[in-house]
Amino acid sequence: MNSGLAVFLWTFRRKWKGLSIFIASVGLLILVIINVYPEFSELRGKAIAKALGGDIEISLTRNEEATGEYTLSWSKFGGADGYVVVKSDTDIPLSLIKGMDVSGVNFRVLGFLPSDGTVSIHTFDATSTSANFTVPEKVSGKESAPVYFCVVAFTGSVANAKIQGASDTVNTRQPVAKGAYDKLMKHPLMKTFIGDLGVDMYSVKGFMSFELFSSLTLFIIIYFLLQYGGAFSSEMENRTIDLILSTPLSRRRLFVSRYLSWLTMNLIVMASWTFFMHAGVVSIGKSAEAPLADIARTTFLFLPFALTVQGFCMLASVAANDSRKAYGITFGVYYGMYFLRIISVLSERLSFLRYFTIFQYWDYNSVFVDGVVRWGGILLLTLLSIGLFVAGLVVFEKKDLAL
């Protein structure tokens, strides 16, 4: 037991400096990226206004806490005495609204829209810049049709108003204008990063999911490949493994102790990511939109994925006598799976290839953005990590170290 603990502590002591540098650099990156979000989020209204010609910047955000509840936000229009929000089940003709210069804005707007009860008018004073609306997300078990919103700025009284500006139409299916950035997000290659789930990059969760969780997944894999890929093979290559095993320490205890030491370092990495992400959203005042519980759940559910990578690295390390071969195997398999993922996204005929990659079974978008955990994928990764651990242990115990 003491020898196993000694290996655990020795392994941790050898790696703690590199681990500290990795955590500090990633933590700094997290804080910098999150603090870019306030400027980035302002592009939402500006992109819509520029793309569709509206005078008022407008955005529509789905509230995660309440299913079917949306927040419509708009910018102030200079000189406006109030705003009228039009909610409709059909697209709202902005060009006709903007062309009006008549009194009775409520009735004139309704005159260009269906009169079957699908349109509602909501009036707000000049100090208002947002409003909440409830929209049914399903009708008879099916996804409901999009609901459209338009904001009109007026002067004078509501009964005798003149239109001074009108917003673009946004809807619950496409709340963001189709600018160049949004077209890029829909490109098939981008799905290799964000998956098949549509991510609203202008929400803090969508921004963090794409900018942070996708990047951190790549960082941790590369870090593991470099740290663990040649851990045992380099010692076998340098013959230092003989000195280690000349003690009463068994091969099994050596393997298990190192595995547990690296597992502990993985947990430290997950905890540090949780801390830095939470600190970042607190610093920009968005902790309510990205709660600590959601961040922690996502980072720690990443553990089965991380252990799968770690288990494969250790298996390759004990199977190969040459560290270069071990690194070649780990990097080759990793980039091979990544290539398969790209092919499965670009070709519908070859979409089945995604099931042969571990990326298919870790959907951080679903966990963090929608709050939905795909337990089937988590369970599969857990079983795979256990299988790789057992396989590495068996290979190491039967390995002929006299080669």
Q: What is the DSSP string of 246-264?
A: TSS--HHHHHHHHHHHHHH
**pLDDT single digits (tens) 355-378:** 899 888 988 888 898 888 989 999
Number of domains in the chain: 2
pLDDT range class, residue 28, cuts 50, 70, 90: very high
pLDDT range class, residue 138, cuts 50, 70, 90: low
For residue 39, being part of any structural domain is answered with: no
Rg (CA), the chain: 28
Domain end marker among 135, 152, 177: 177
Which pLDDT score, from 0 to 100, does residue 194 have?
A: 53
User: Looking at the structure, do residues 241 and 337 belong to the same domain, yes or no?
Assistant: yes
User: Looking at the structure, do residues 195 and 344 belong to the same domain, yes or no?
Assistant: yes
| Mean model confidence pLDDT for the chain | 78
Cα-based torsion angle of the residue sequence 102, 103, 107, 111 in order, rounded to the nearest 10 degrees: -10
Range of the domain at 165: 45-177
Distance in angstroms (rounded) separating the CA atoms of residues 153 and 155: 7
For residue 22, being part of any structural domain is answered with: yes
The model's pTM is 0.66
- CATH code of the domain in which 85 resides: 2.60.40.10
Distance in angstroms (rounded) separating the CA atoms of residues 323 and 239: 12
Domain end marker among 177, 207, 236: 177
Distance in angstroms (rounded) separating the CA atoms of residues 138 and 316: 49
pLDDT range class, residue 101, cuts 50, 70, 90: very low
User: Looking at the structure, do residues 394 and 246 belong to the same domain, yes or no?
Assistant: yes
User: Looking at the structure, do residues 159 and 210 belong to the same domain, yes or no?
Assistant: no
User: Looking at the structure, do residues 170 and 239 belong to the same domain, yes or no?
Assistant: no
Mark out the alpha helices in 99-210 (DSSP H runs): 105-111, 180-185, 191-194, 204-208
**pLDDT single digits (tens) 179-236:** 444 555 555 555 555 554 456 677 788 888 888 887 777 777 788 777 776 777 777 7
Tokens of 122: 């909501």
pLDDT at 339 over 70: yes
Tokens of 32: 């910098």
% of residues, the chain, pLDDT over 90: 17
Which pLDDT score, from 0 to 100, does residue 180 have?
A: 46
For residue 127, being part of any structural domain is answered with: yes
Q: What is the DSSP letter of 384?
A: H
Which pLDDT score, from 0 to 100, does residue 150 have?
A: 83
**pLDDT single digits (tens) 279-323:** 999 999 989 889 999 999 999 999 999 899 889 988 988 888 787
Which pLDDT score, from 0 to 100, does residue 79 have?
A: 82
User: Looking at the structure, do residues 84 and 28 belong to the same domain, yes or no?
Assistant: no
Instruction: Over range 378-390, report the average pLDDT.
Output: 95
User: Looking at the structure, do residues 251 and 153 belong to the same domain, yes or no?
Assistant: no
User: Looking at the structure, do residues 215 and 171 belong to the same domain, yes or no?
Assistant: no
Instruction: Over range 328-352, report the average pLDDT.
Output: 84
For residue 403, being part of any structural domain is answered with: no
Q: What's the distance, CA 325 to chain centroid?
A: 34
Which pLDDT score, from 0 to 100, does residue 30 have?
A: 92
Cβ–Cβ under 8 Å, residues 205 and 368: yes
Domain end marker among 177, 207, 225: 177
Block residue for tokens 């050596």: 254
User: Looking at the structure, do residues 101 and 125 belong to the same domain, yes or no?
Assistant: yes
